Amino acid sequence: MARGRGPFAGGPEQARQQLVAAAEECFLDYGVRRTTMDDVARRAGVSRPTVYRYFADRDALIVEVVTRRARVFGGRARDYVVGRPDFASKIVDGLVFMIRGGRKDPILRVLLAPDNLKTTSGILTAGNVAQRLTFELWEPVLLAAQEAGEMRPEVDPHDLCELMADLELVMISRGDLVDPDGPGVEKMIGDFLLPALAA
């Protein structure tokens, strides 16, 4: 990869990482709705046109922030889910792990705060970003469960991941619905989602 000069001497990937880091700091300081591309440029120490060279608009920057954080966390979540002993605990414990992890992540907590939720969830669902990231994590688990006869064969994994993504977004953003550290999250998933999937 060619290396350039100036603030992004490490090349395009280093540039994107630096801009994502600047955007995360701005989201924490100003909130999502009040953060502008000018804010991100100032925080990164570059011009606004430079930011636009890598990200078409603020929506694209939000997608990149969420994608990168989700993939880092998704690696830990994948190991956790795979380590569960059966299909039921993979679904229940795995979703609880994702929801609680999302609530503890300071950037996701800001992005999915109630006053930002409409903006952020619209961006993530419009491009199927949340569904795609959920599918990356859950596809092998769901397909293996169907092959083993543990999950109903007529359940479409893509449709299920869309539902799971929506559930995670709501449960991460609405801490007032269920105590994140109490048994309510497990009970809700175990009582309502799991019976619809189990063979």
pLDDT at residue 147, rounded to an integer: 97
- Domain 8-55: CATH architecture, name and number where available: Orthogonal Bundle (1.10)
Task: Please choose, from the candidates 170, 72, 75, the residue with its C-alpha nearest in 3D space to the C-alpha of residue 193.
Answer: 170
Is 90 exceeded by the pLDDT of residue 177?
Answer: no
Distance CA 165, CA 150 (A): 21
Domain 59-197 in CATH 1.10.150? The answer is: no
- Of 7-11, 21-25, 145-149, 162-166, minimum mean pLDDT range: 7-11
Average pLDDT, the chain: 89
Position 9 scores a pLDDT of 66
pLDDT for res 3: 41
Residues of the chain with CATH 1.10.10.60: 8-55
Give the tokens for residue 170. Answer: 């709501």
